[in-house]
Amino acid sequence: MSTPDPFDTATFFDCNEDGDLHSVLDTENDTAEKAIFRHIAWWGVDKITYPLVVHAWAPDEILAPWFDSIAAHLHDIAVEAWEADFGDPEDNDSLPPEVADELLVGMTTVIRILKKARPWRCHKVGSREYTREQVLAIMGDEDL
């Protein structure tokens, strides 16, 4: 089985030549065809240079170590606060280790909820060129 082309599985598409990611994310161009429609609607089919280049973008993937480091940092803050407010002033290690360990596991579980959110930051995964004929075929009967 071959690996899918990243262009075909991208999340955002744009024809903006300067690669302005803001324009990509501010649009609803979730297909290359929508990006072409939007570009043609703005410029007109005869006022653009061919081949028309469509760029494909995908959100950055956030890996487990990022979540784990945030959870560990919050764990340390919580343990320090507990020790300062409720711990034995003579013993800076009065929180039972099993409680501290359970806290870290819980923090990690909670922080990984962030995986449900889509990152704003994206990276370009590919580009495709479309000839004038291909653009006209995509546009179909639209008023050009």
Residues 33 and 74 in one domain: no
Specify the pLDDT at position 11.
86
133 and 91 within one domain:
no
Q: At what angle do helices 132-139 and 32-43 cross, to 10 degrees?
A: 100
Average pLDDT (17-32) is: 63
Q: How large is the average pLDDT for residues 77-98?
A: 88
Give me the pLDDT at residue 25, please: 52
**What's the count of helices (H) and strands (E) in the chain, helices before strands?**
5, 3
Hey, CA dihedral for 26, 140, 8, 19, is it positive or negative?
A: negative
Does the structure show a pLDDT above 60 at 26? no
Whether the full predicted model's pTM is greater than 0.75, yes or no, is: no
Q: What is the pLDDT of residues 38-76, one digit of tens each?
A: 889 888 888 988 999 999 988 888 999 999 999 999 999
Same domain, 22 and 45: yes
Q: Are 53 and 14 in contact (CB under 8 A)?
A: no
Q: Is residue 4 part of a domain?
A: no
Length of the chain: 144
Q: Is 60 exceeded by the pLDDT of residue 144?
A: no
In a domain, 5, yes or no: no
